[in-house]
Chain A
Amino acid sequence: MRFGIGPFSAEAFGNVGWTEAYEVMGQAARVAEESGFDSVWVAERNFTDDGYCPSAFVAAASLAAQTEALKIGVMPILGLAHPLYVAEDAAVIDILSAGRAIIMPINAVAHELAAHAIPESSYDSRFSESVSVLLDAWSARPFSFRGEHWTIPAQLDGHVENRSGMVTVTPKPAQIELPLWIGGFWDYGRRLAAELGLPMVLGAVSDNSLLGDLWGDYDRDAQASGRRPLRVLIRDVYVSNGDDPASECAHMLSRQFERYDSWGLWSGDASDFEALARGRFLIGNPDAVIEQIREIDDRCGLDKLICRMHFPGMPLHQLLRSVRLFSSEVIPEFRMPDLPHQIRQGV
């Protein structure tokens, strides 16, 4: 199993201001790179009251400069602006990271659509057209695209230079096939991923009891591809040797889910932490967290676990303590399945 860290989102909260939140992201990525993680992730949301990172490419590019081997996972919102902006940003970040990028588009939420004056009813098709444009734009061939929302090139009146009817988006990604994983945080996204045979990532808004069914549906729709689909899961993770690890992070996670609720990504009572945590968070001492991961892995066969370990308001020292404990005690159990028990026990 592989491990990623993130998605980071750099909200300001409590004593942690925006600038510091971006520093935390960089420091955590540098520690993660030397601790057995193989990817770092940055997500975006627009127009939040706490400054949730609104430009994942910009923040992720800075992480690319501060690391040398971590995959750079970017989670841009797709379908708000013209998809070629995302295609260009993605190609550039893949090049500047020397081919380390993974692009995981996520769905816009209601307040973002409203700000862009986009009717919710048109969003699914905006998203799917955008995915098609990304794939066309990253291919090594000139292309044209005619959809309900976008026509490329537009060949507008008065434009004389391009009479070929084709466009070549440049530069091209460094990777021959830039990995495109679809954020499976909404029903349509999961179906689209299956239809296109693209990896689909389940996230914190889907609790453990749903994972089997969601992946089952995906497999059924995607079976034409004939390949075993990647199983990638995002989970909120906190590891501590304290007496009651949950109490050290509960307020931060509850707040996180209050926000998911307000954005329409999840609905429920975020104040009942025990109910919220059950079957959703990976929290505890190392042995407890190993057991929780093992349970999901036995059932679903995880390829990659992306661990969201930083929550708004968590001080850097607390984050790094949790990251280091996770990396020394938990990751080897899964990343090194053949680790001889003599080495594990320090003999």
Chain B
Amino acid sequence: MEIGIGLWGMQSTRSAPLPHVTLYRRLADDAQHAEEYGFPSLWLTEHRFWYDGYLPSLLTAGGFIAGATTRLRIGTGCLLLPQHDPLRIAHGVNTLDQVSHGRLDFGVALGYRDQEFDGLGIHRRDRAPRMDHALRILERASRGEAVTDNGAVVTPLPVQPQVPIWVAAVGEHAVRRAARFGFSILLSDAHDDRRAGELVELYHRTAEEHGTDVSNARMGILRYVWVDEAGDAAESTVIPRLRSLLLEQLGGWRYLSDEDGVPLGFETPEKLRRAAEGVIRNNAAIGSPRTGIRRLKNLAASGVDFVVARSHLISQTQPELYRAMELLGTEVAPAVADAGARVGEV
């Protein structure tokens, strides 16, 4: 199992209203530290029209990381593809892969906030067909094939023969679609280990039914991860931060849902709070390196082979973050490197 580091959304929140200039200067520092601690990749996250200045332009921020680092892969986790113009994104993807010498991991998600679609004049209900259409264009653009009716070809081509495409998969439908195309998946931090295992199994079953070659596909997941030599210190400092992040952000976005799949917003505070506690108790790896290793090995046993470790929350200081990243990169990651086996190989 491999561990990438995430997620950077460049938010200046009500509780930590740092200047955006400071946050982006830290992004360059953070990326250089991630490289030094041996992380294979750093992941960015997108939203728009949100009060805290959440990063809306992942490929531009990716160009900045490319200029600040030399080996680190740049992950979009995730770019909300249906909210974009596919030709514009195809140009950005190919350019970023050139600027970074082939270091792009391109993750895409549907997006869910009405307001984001509406600001751009796009129907939210069209997001699934828009996603399919855009993915087809990206695939053609990466191979130098025509992307428009009049035969236009995107140049330059990417450096990588195939820029890895990761699809955020929350529900079974998305997992099946990704499996049919052979894309890698990024499961949600709202999935517990057992659910992650079911979805990985569903992915492989679907791929087999369709005869898709998924030998290069990765089974990824987002997880809140924070390690500290003193396990109780990790819990006492990070859990309140994580709780405030979940309640403040996820309530606004209706990201979590109840057991019936109904999205939870600020208008159902009790349910939202229960869902947030569920994420903290069941889907996070917070504590000593030993705790982190144990929890990530459990996850690996479910067939997940890649974790975007969400150590970058919002209100931690840089020294705190770097200490946690160093422990994660140098002690936890090597200990779980051989954990699990890809389900397809069992």
Please tell me the size bucket of the interface on A: 35 or more
Q: A19-B101, A58-B96, A170-B49 are in contact. Are A159 and B21 (CB under 8 A)?
A: no
Judging by beta carbons under 8 Å apart, are A65 and B64 in contact?
yes
* A57 neighbours in B (Cβ, 8 Å): 57, 59-60, 63, 92
Judging by beta carbons under 8 Å apart, are A162 and B155 in contact? no
CB of B56 within 8 A of CB of A92, answer yes
Contacts of B63 in A (CB 8 A): 57-62, 65
Are A63 and B67 in touch, CB under 8 angstroms? yes
* A116 close to B87 (CB less than 8 A): yes
A272 within 8 A of B: no
**Contacting residues, chain B, for A53 (C-beta < 8 A):** 95
B91 near A46: Cβ-Cβ < 8 Å: yes
Residues of B within 8 A of A155 (CB): 118
- State whether the Cβ of B142 lies closer than 8 Å to any Cβ in chain A: no
A99 & B21 in contact (Cβ 8 Å cutoff)? yes
Closest to B100 in A: A62
The residue in chain B whose Cβ has the minimal distance to the Cβ of A18 is: B156
Tell me the bound Cα distance from A48 to B53 in angstroms: 34
Taken together as a complex, chains A and B put the C-alpha atoms of A169 and B115 apart, in Å, by 11
Q: Say yes or no for A154: interface residue by CB 8 A criterion.
A: yes
A35 sits at the interface (CB 8 A): no
A93 part of interface (Cβ distance < 8 Å): yes
A-B pairs with beta carbons under 8 A, tally: 200
B159, closest chain A residue (CB): A19
The verdict on A303 contacting chain B, using a C-beta distance below 8 Å, is no
A51-B156, A161-B115 known; A58-B124 Cβ under 8 A: no
Interface centre among B49, B57, B87, B125 (most CB of A within 10 A): B57
Residue in B10, B55, B98, B120 whose Cβ sees the most chain A Cβ within 10 Å: B98
- Complex formed: what's the CA distance from A230 to B87 in Å? 34
Residue among A60, A63, A117 making CB contact with B149, cutoff 8 Å = A117
Binary flags per residue of B126-154, CB closer than 8 Å to A gives 1, else 0 = 00000000000000000000011110111
For A18, list chain B residues within 8 Å (CB): 98, 156-157, 159
Q: Which residues of A contact B49 (CB under 8 A)?
A: 167-170
Q: Is B66 an interface residue (CB 8 A)?
A: yes
Instruction: Report the separation of the CA atoms of residues A170 and B88 in the bound assembly, to the nearest whole angstrom.
Output: 20
| Cα distance, A111 to B63, chains bound together (Å) | 26
Q: Report Cα–Cα, A53/B10, bound state, in Å.
A: 27
- Residues on A with C-beta less than 8 A from B209 are none
Chain B window 36-75, contacts with chain A (Cβ cutoff 8 Å), 1 for yes, 0 for no = 0000000000001111111111011111111110000000
Partner of A61 from B60, B150, B154, B159 at Cβ < 8 Å = B60
Contact present for A61 and B64 (CB under 8 Å): yes
Complex CA–CA separation, A58 to B152 (angstroms): 21
Q: Which listed residue, A10, A85, A114, A172, touches B53 by the CB 8 Å rule?
A: A172
Query: Does A254 reach chain B (CB closer than 8 Å)?
Result: no
Q: Is A55 touching B91 in the complex (CB atoms < 8 A)?
A: yes
Q: Tell me, yes or no, whether A160 is within 8 Å of chain B by CB.
A: yes
Determine if B173 is an interface residue (Cβ-Cβ < 8 Å): no
Q: Which of B12, B54, B84, B123 contacts A158 (CB 8 A)?
A: B123
A contact residues around B28 at 8 Å (CB): 65
Q: A46-B87, A162-B115 are in contact. Are A152 and B121 (CB under 8 A)?
A: yes
Q: Does A96 contact B (CB under 8 A)?
A: yes
| B-contacting residues, A29-47, CB 8 Å | 44, 46-47
In the complex, what's the smallest C-beta–C-beta distance from B319 to chain A, in angstroms? 22
Please pick, from A12, A89, A154, A162, the residue contacting B60 in the complex, using a CB distance under 8 A. Answer: A89
Complex partner residue of B88 from A49, A81, A98, A154, CB under 8 angstroms: A81
A188 at the interface (CB under 8 A from B): no
Q: Are A65 and B121 in contact (CB under 8 A)?
A: no
Contact call B150/A95, Cβ cutoff below 8 A? no
**Nearest Cβ on chain B to A48's Cβ, whole angstroms:** 6
Interface pair B50/A170, CB less than 8 Å apart = yes
Chain B residues positioned under 8 Å from A81 (CB to CB): 85, 87-88
- Partner pick for B92 among A55, A114, A169, CB 8 A cutoff: A55
Q: List B contacts of A96 (CB < 8 A).
A: 24, 27, 60-61, 64
On chain A, the residues within 8 Å of B48 by CB distance are 88, 169-170
A172 to B113, CA, bound (A): 20
B 13-41 contacts with A by CB, 8 A: 20-21, 23-25, 27-28
Q: Is the CB of B66 within 8 A of A62?
A: yes
The answer, yes or no, to whether A171 is at the interface (CB within 8 Å) is yes
Q: Please judge, given known A-B contacts A22-B98, A115-B87, A161-B114, whether A50 and B155 are in contact too, CB under 8 Å.
A: yes
B contact residues around A48 at 8 Å (CB): 155
* A98 to B64 alpha-carbon distance, docked (Å): 12
A154 to B119: give the CA distance in the assembly, Å: 6
A174 within 8 A of B: yes
A170 in contact with B120 (CB, 8 Å):
no
Which of B12, B20, B21, B149 is packed against the most chain A CB atoms within 10 Å?
Answer: B20
Q: Is A82 positioned at the interface, with any CB of B under 8 Å from its CB?
A: yes
Complex: A82 Cα to B119 Cα, angstroms? 10
Give the nearest-CB partner of A174 in chain B.
B21
Q: Looking at the complex, which one of B55, B67, B120, B156 makes contact with A62 (CB distance below 8 Å)?
A: B67
Residues of A within 8 A of B224 (CB): none
B117 on the interface (CB 8 Å rule)? yes
Q: List 25 A-B contacts (CB under 8 A).
A: A18-B157, A19-B101, A19-B159, A47-B155, A51-B157, A53-B95, A54-B156, A55-B96, A58-B60, A58-B95, A58-B99, A59-B99, A61-B63, A62-B64, A62-B99, A65-B28, A65-B65, A66-B68, A80-B87, A84-B120, A92-B57, A156-B117, A159-B117, A161-B115, A168-B51
Given contacts A26-B67, A47-B155, A51-B156, 14 further A-B contacts (CB under 8 A): A19-B98, A47-B153, A51-B155, A62-B63, A62-B66, A85-B57, A92-B56, A115-B148, A156-B118, A160-B114, A161-B113, A169-B119, A170-B48, A171-B12
Q: Which B residues have a C-beta under 8 Å from some C-beta of A? A: 10, 12, 20-21, 23-25, 27-28, 48-57, 59-68, 84-85, 87-88, 91-92, 94-96, 98-101, 113-115, 117-125, 147-150, 152-157, 159
